[in-house]
Amino acid sequence: MATVRELDKRNFVLGVINGALFQLSATFVDSGIVLAPLVLMLMGPSTLWQGILVSLMGAGWAWPQPLLGNFFERRARRLPYYWGSSAARLACSAAAFAVVAQLDGSDPVRIYVLLTTIFFLYASSGSVGVIPFFTIVSDSMPPDRRGLFFGLRWLFGGLLAFGAGFLVKAVLSDRSGLPFPHNYATLFAINFGVLSVSVLAFSLTREPEHAVLKHRVSVWQQLHRSHRLLKRNRSYRLLMIARSLGMMAGGLCPPFLVHYARREFGLADEVVGIYVAISALSAALANLLWSRLGDRYGNRRVLLVSHTLALLTPVLALTAQVCPQTILGSTGVAVLGVHLTWPLALMALVFLPLGFATSGSALGQTNYLLDIAPEGRRGTYLGASSGVTLPLTAMPLVGALAIGTDRFTLGFALAAVLGLAAWIAAYVLEEPRVAQCANAEAAQPNTGGRLKAVRN
């Protein structure tokens, strides 16, 4: 069991600033909302090209970690590896801007291949810094402050991203004075600037002491460890089942919501900014719930509620098909300055539970994993979890093949079924902090209400 550490307030504050700005930067290159219309303009209406892009970005975030878990566990200093990872990610961001800025429309396939490769490398380089980041964070604060930490990162980041949604709306609108592709080049340039400040903030953190392992473990041994963890650790196994089912559902619906709205309901590029704003605001407000729920009642509760909300995403998207194709309200009610039809208004509501579920699952899965991972082996657990779910990063591609150009009902219905299965897996999870609280109360009989609340 991990030892309880004192809170490093400097790292807490810098980590929150880093997370808020990172989420803001990600808004300008969101694969499911911002990049989707760009891919459509380059490659036409098939969802296949969007599925390839999203799958490769997911694979980029997943593949390095299973290979690097033990490598980082044997390093007393991990912050320099975060610096190297961030420098590579910034280089990819600059390359994306350069490619789009030079786009002339004469060879869209080449532009698509270049951008897809760049964003795969962008995700891969970012993934290298994940384990150093999480071990620095987890060794800088006690478990009952991690929910607040990640919650504040998402809260402030979501509020900033909400404002960024209006900026995306303005840049992509016909009134911006920025024709295609200069509008997307502008978004990529903003991404580079905000990401630079985000990296600088975390680079100023004070690296704590880490439990360092002495022995080297080969890649094959690390893969065997992943299998052994699944076999022996019930909580870890159930968490991976819930996460895998959630990824399968997520690969069949969220990446294609913009394609769906454009094909079925005539979504305009200007409305994309509204969807960005709604998704970001919901993810931000959700953290008023997630941080308190996780710190007070445990991360199993966070996972249960977030999986419940994730179920609403495909259900609401399918419900939009039965709405009348008329302007919202008898006099044409404007939403954030844009007149929407009833289906497009309902599609805007789809991003409310999606934003809640995205932030909740990210926070709940990470903190649950840190709760069950012994100190000194967090790199192994984080790497193993990425290795287990690595094949599922292809789900957006599978979803694209299933949906094609018009079979959205099939894809979204399958997403709902898989989402329900993910909820069931999360329901049978145990709360790891129950045992931790019992041990703490045995050692300190006068412990306050916080520990008792976790068991309720």
Residues 409 and 314: their CA atoms lie apart, in Å, by: 9
Check residue 288 and give its pLDDT: 77
- Which range (155-164, 245-254, 317-326, 333-342) has the least confidence? 333-342
pLDDT tens readout for residues 290-342 = 878 887 888 899 999 999 999 999 999 999 988 887 776 555 555 556 677 88
- What are the two backbone dihedrals, phi and then psi, of residue 234, each rounded to the nearest 5 degrees? -65, -45
Place of tokens 């931790």: 436
Residues composing the chain: 456
Average pLDDT rounded to a whole number, residues 120-128 = 92
Check residue 456 and give its pLDDT: 37
pTM exceeds 0.85, yes or no: no
pLDDT at residue 265 tops 80: yes
- Residue 428: CB atoms within 10 A of its CB come to 11
**Residue among 398, 430, 429 nearest 415 (CA):** 398
For residue 70 the two structure tokens come to 């033990």
CB 117 within 8 A of CB 102: no
**Residue among 96, 400, 413, 111 nearest 259 (CA):** 400
Residues 309 and 238: their CA atoms lie apart, in Å, by: 19
Check residue 216 and give its pLDDT: 67
Residue-averaged pLDDT of the chain: 82
pLDDT at residue 43 tops 50: yes
pLDDT greater at residue 25 or residue 290: 25
pLDDT tens readout for residues 371-390 = 888 776 776 777 778 778 88
Q: Looking at the domain covering 9-203+219-430, what would its CATH class be? A: mainly alpha
Amino acid at 56: L
CB 253 within 8 A of CB 418: no
Categorize the per-residue pLDDT at 124 as very low, low, confident or very high, splitting at 50, 70 and 90: very high
Average pLDDT rounded to a whole number, residues 71-81 = 80
Residues 85 and 71: their CA atoms lie apart, in Å, by: 15
Average pLDDT rounded to a whole number, residues 13-32 = 90
Residues 251 and 413: their CA atoms lie apart, in Å, by: 12
pLDDT greater at residue 275 or residue 238: 238
List CB contacts of 144: < 8 A, sequence separation 6 or more. 295, 450
Residues 275 and 27: their CA atoms lie apart, in Å, by: 11
Instruction: Report CA dihedral (339, 342, 348, 351) to the nearest 10 degrees.
Output: 180
Check residue 428 and give its pLDDT: 92
Check residue 348 and give its pLDDT: 84
Average pLDDT rounded to a whole number, residues 17-41 = 88
Check residue 333 and give its pLDDT: 54
Check residue 328 and give its pLDDT: 67
**Residue among 122, 57, 133 nearest 88 (CA):** 122
pLDDT at residue 237 tops 80: yes
Check residue 452 and give its pLDDT: 43
Residues 186 and 181: their CA atoms lie apart, in Å, by: 9
Check residue 5 and give its pLDDT: 59
Average pLDDT rounded to a whole number, residues 353-364 = 87
Using alpha carbons only, give the angle 286, 288, 294 rounded to the nearest 5 degrees: 90
Amino acid at 31: S
Average pLDDT rounded to a whole number, residues 417-421 = 95
pLDDT at residue 213 tops 80: no
Check residue 179 and give its pLDDT: 84
- Residue 212: CB atoms within 10 A of its CB come to 12
Instruction: Report CA dihedral (336, 311, 149, 72) to the nearest 10 degrees.
Output: -120
pLDDT greater at residue 258 or residue 87: 87
- Which range (36-40, 238-242, 421-425) has the least confidence? 36-40
- What are the two backbone dihedrals, phi and then psi, of residue 53, each rounded to the nearest 5 degrees? -60, -50
- Which range (185-199, 220-234, 388-402, 429-443) has the least confidence? 429-443
The segment with the largest mean pLDDT, out of 1-15, 173-187, 391-405, 417-431, is: 417-431
- Which range (14-28, 54-68, 82-96) has the least confidence? 54-68
CB 176 within 8 A of CB 35: no
Residues 383 and 381: their CA atoms lie apart, in Å, by: 5
Distance, CA of 147 to chain centre: 16
Greatest CA separation for the chain: 73
Residues 373 and 225: their CA atoms lie apart, in Å, by: 13
